[in-house]
Structure 1
Amino acid sequence: MKDSDFVRRIIGILTEARQMQVLLEEDPERQDISGDNVRALLNETMPTIEFPADASPGEIGEALSLQLSPVIERLTGAFSLIFLQLADLHDAGRTDVTSADILQDLALRADELWPGEEDGGV
């Protein structure tokens, strides 16, 4: 997955989380709110974890750590970059755009802003 695709999924997670918040603010008793879309977007960023069938618990833990660490680093980086973009506009006192506008703009410009190469593992 390219860096820009990864960032778009994070933007999707943030957008979906905001939509869930809006729905709950409108009706705190709603029972039909689900994190399924957020979970699906997050799962798209995760690699298939592989380890030998006869692996010990320690070997499984090490395999998980080695294979998930790069994804966790990318998640942290993407969330941080998006947060910084939102924070910069907020701190500049911009009231002419919403956070949704900013996220949409970042998603549209993701290839330009994060042109990273394809990562075969994710």
Structure 2
Amino acid sequence: MEQSEVVLRAIGILTQSAEWIRTANRDTDGDIGVEGGAVGGERGSGEGQIGSLLAEVFPSFTVSPESTPLEAAHAVTAAALPPMMQLIGAFTYVFAQLAEVHDSGRTDITSEDLLRELALRMSRPNDAV
């Protein structure tokens, strides 16, 4: 999966999380609960999107049954580290963009507007991360 695709998926998850929080606030009069890994108890909403992203980013691999525990650990690390860095990079990039706008004191753009703008920028081939 290309880095720009991972960033787009991260933006989608962050955008959706804002809706989960608004829904939780409406449903519980401001008492935001986290149940089953989903904001506001909406089981499956976030888990599905996040699980899908993880399944797409992380490769499947096999470890030889003859491997020692150390060799197996090295194989898992070698397979998991690049996609993990890709995910961390995507969420870090989006966070840095949001933080920059927030820290500059801009009030002319909401976080959701900025996420939409970033998604449009990521969708253009010349503007990808």
Normalised by the length of structure 1, the TM-score is: 0.78
Distance in 1 (CA, whole Å) between partners of 2:16 and 2:56 is 15
For residue 83 of structure 1, the aligned residue among 69, 72, 95 is 95
1:47 aligned residue (43, 53, 59):
59
Residues 12-21 or 25-34, more deviating: 25-34
Residue number in structure 2 paired with 1:3? 3
AA of the residue aligned to 1:16: Q
* 1:16-75 deviation line (CA, Å, top 9, x unaligned): 222222221221386544322222223222222332244343332221111111111111
| 5+ long unaligned stretches in structure 1 | 116-122
RMSD over aligned Cα, in angstroms? Answer: 2.1
**How many residues of Structure 1 are paired with residues of Structure 2 in the alignment?**
115
Is residue 110 of structure 2 the alignment partner of residue 98 of structure 1? yes
Alignment pair present for 1:112 and 2:119 = no
Distance 2:54 2:16 in 1: 11
One-letter amino acid of the counterpart of residue 15, structure 1 = T
Distance 1:6 1:67 in 2: 17
Task: Tell me, yes or no, if structure 1 residue 70 matches structure 2 residue 82.
Answer: yes
Contact kept, 8 Å, 1:46 with 1:68, in 2: the verdict is yes
In 2, distance between residues paired with 1:72 and 1:95?
A: 34
For the 8 Å contact 1:17–1:38, the answer to whether it is kept is: no
8 Å CA contact 1:11–1:107 kept in 2: the answer is yes
Higher relative contact order (CA 8 A, sep 6+): 1
Query: Aligned partner of 2:12: which letter?
Result: G
Shift of the 84–92 alpha-carbon distance from structure 1 to 2, 3 Å rule, reads same
